[in-house]
Structure 1
Amino acid sequence: MFNKDFNSILEVAREFSTEQKCIEHLEALYWNNKPVSPFHEDSKVYKCKGNKYKCKTSGKYFTVKTGSMFDNTKIELPKWFMAIYLVINHKKGISSVQLGRDLQISQKSAWHMLHRIRACFGIENDIDDKFDGICEADESFFGGKNKNRHKDKKVEQSQGRSFKDKTPVIGVLQRGESEIIDGKKVMLSPSKVKCIAVENTKKESIQPFIKSFVEKDTVLISDEWHGYRGLENCYDHHIVDHAKKQYVDFDNPEIHSNSIEGFWGIMKRSYNGIHNWWSRKHIQKYVDEHVFRFNLRDLKTSDRFNHLLANSQVRTKYKQLTAQ
């Protein structure tokens, strides 16, 4: 079951057509078919009717959905599995309105479902491994354009790098490794990225993030923003001066930040074309979603699907999402 690749939503619907098939798949992924109590890992477990289990130590009942994104859901698992497939395969994501139509559920339910899924995307952004080789650092801003606002809603001095009405996101991209074989460039490993939403783009916000994810003495490329000043003490730091219309160092063509700019482009098209707006409260979840898809883009669809399911033991309650 794990090795089967899903090339369409029809194949997912066929493979996981019933609640029981989905439950069996989750039990194999979570427990390797040997139930483990979410209350006491070492406790003996008794199998009960209706896919339920009982923890001997605590005396509590549980299912494979307990403590996961599927905990206490009233939406059947086949729809959850189709939602996950759609989210990880749509390059720019999918809106709650569209997902609600596709699954024939309310927009409110689809919104809650999407945020439960996004809470599990954070696993890829939270991995502790550090970047090396050639890395690019940059920041981008997400929010409405002032020129599109009604006259009484315009924000003064909000152009450029201002974050009065926008949320800044800092990112670091590690370029993939390649090799020339028989005259052709062959990618040995893909590029990877890590991103975090921050309150501002000051040195105090940018540099701790970079230092936590990039190995010392790594080649680091950024633009001329003053928040990157001083990084030459830790890295082989190169600057591409965008203010002077410089986008590549012609003496050394590898010195550019075009790779991470391409990643921002995907996120911008998602923001403008699919969602239209991300709240400051939830923006990190949307960022995590894009990081997950970008970093795992070279995996087979079924491997990405199972990777998310295997790390989906994160429960997000509706009250948590809507609390001020």
Structure 2
Amino acid sequence: MINIEFKSIRELIKAFPDEATCTAHLEQLRWNGNVVSPFDETSKVYTTARGYKCKNTGKYFNVRTQTLFDNTKIELQTWFIAIYLITGHKKGISSLQLGRDLNVTQKTAWFMLQRIRNCFGIDSAETDPNNNNKLGGSGVVVEVDETVHGGKTKNMSNKKRKVIAENKADRHNNKTVMVGYLERGSRLRLQAVKPTDFIPDMVRANVDTESVLMTDTANTYVKVGKDYAHHGVVDHTKKNTAEVFIILMA
């Protein structure tokens, strides 16, 4: 949409130093000197203190109307820089990184990222091939929970129960900690936790950071949740679907 090639962000900012310059550029691109109503292309258009007005519909509009910039207070220069960054990253860019680059909140960056991707037809999986095997994605809810998996002592043979009774240190050797990942309405994944594994790293390796991460309130998940687009917590008194899935698998 910017329609000009820049070698750096500095060049872009120099070309579009303020809102007026950005607006003029968009009007040139969109209307080329002949303003057309987005509500009725056959209507006459008046210039008013509130912007442009469509005679036939009586509606007001401006160059942002019915574009990816519509109904936002984000400066056009910020939008232009975001477009430059997003379309220039061959492997994609996360909302966390975009927020840092633009000096905006992660929530704002996530919103901008979705609009730009939709406008330019950019798919997050295509722009980041390293995430092809990860669950979730932009706006997708992924639930994560863990449990201990293994046979119950009462169901073991007398011989095994005797060994466990005699050697209390080995009473949990038949148990395996499992982490379950559920992409809501889609894929499921169950992973054993080895002694050398760090659960936050496992979550990052299995769940796209653009996802909506749902976990319990354990500190492990609270910390890793900060790396995600959104992080919600569940009350264990009301089982979430990931927890139910793990129980069924145990």
Q: TM-score if structure 1 supplies the norm length? A: 0.41
In the alignment, does 2:84 pair up with 1:85?
A: yes
Q: Distance in 1 between matches of 2:181 and 2:3?
A: 53
Alignment of 1:83-232 (within 5 A): 83-122=82-121, 142-144=132-134, 151-154=177-180, 164-165=187-188
Q: Distance in 2 between matches of 1:165 and 1:142?
A: 15
Deviation at 1:142, TM superposition (A): 3.2
Alignment of 1:41-60 (within 5 A): 41-49=41-49, 52-60=51-59
**Cα deviations by residue, 1:284-321 (Å, 9 ceiling, x for unpaired):** xxxxxxxxxxxxxxxxxxxxxxxxxxxxxxxxxxxxxx
User: Do 1:40 and 1:55's aligned partners in 2 also have CA atoms closer than 8 Å?
Assistant: yes
The 1:95/1:141 distance shift into structure 2, 3 A limit, reads closer
Match in the other structure for 1:11: 11
Cα RMSD (Å): 3.3
SS in 2 for 1:6: coil
Match in the other structure for 1:30: 30
**Cα deviations by residue, 1:203-222 (Å, 9 ceiling, x for unpaired):** xxxxxxxxxxxxxxxxxxxx
**Cα deviations by residue, 1:102-159 (Å, 9 ceiling, x for unpaired):** 11111100100110111112299xxxxxxxxxxxxxxx993438xxx96432479xxx
User: Do 1:143 and 1:165's aligned partners in 2 also have CA atoms closer than 8 Å?
Assistant: no
**Cα deviations by residue, 1:67-125 (Å, 9 ceiling, x for unpaired):** 1111111111101000000001111121111111111111100100110111112299x
- One-letter code aligned to 1:109: T
Q: TM-score if structure 2 supplies the norm length? A: 0.52
The 1:155/1:13 distance shift into structure 2, 3 A limit, reads closer
Q: Distance in 2 between matches of 1:74 and 1:105?
A: 12
- One-letter code aligned to 2:83: I
Q: Distance in 2 between matches of 1:100 and 1:141?
A: 20
Deviation at 1:15, TM superposition (A): 0.6
In the alignment, does 2:208 pair up with 1:276?
A: yes
Deviation at 1:4, TM superposition (A): 4.8
The 1:49/1:123 distance shift into structure 2, 3 A limit, reads farther
Deviation at 1:279, TM superposition (A): 4.6
The 1:164/1:107 distance shift into structure 2, 3 A limit, reads closer
Q: Which has the higher contact order (CA 8 A, sep 6+)?
A: 1
User: Do 2:19 and 2:76's aligned partners in 1 also have CA atoms closer than 8 Å?
Assistant: yes
Deviation at 1:34, TM superposition (A): 1.0
SS in 1 for 2:121: helix
- One-letter code aligned to 2:187: K
Aligned-residue sequence identity (percent) comes to 50
User: Do 2:99 and 2:106's aligned partners in 1 also have CA atoms closer than 8 Å?
Assistant: yes
The 1:67/1:3 distance shift into structure 2, 3 A limit, reads closer
Number of residues paired by the alignment?
A: 149
Match in the other structure for 1:229: none
Q: Distance in 1 between matches of 2:18 and 2:71?
A: 18
Alignment gaps of 5+ in structure 2: 124-129, 136-144, 147-176, 190-203, 213-250
Match in the other structure for 1:269: none
The 1:16/1:141 distance shift into structure 2, 3 A limit, reads closer
The 1:33/1:141 distance shift into structure 2, 3 A limit, reads same
Q: Distance in 2 between matches of 1:15 and 1:100?
A: 22
SS in 2 for 1:153: strand
Deviation at 1:22, TM superposition (A): 0.8
User: Do 1:53 and 1:62's aligned partners in 2 also have CA atoms closer than 8 Å?
Assistant: yes
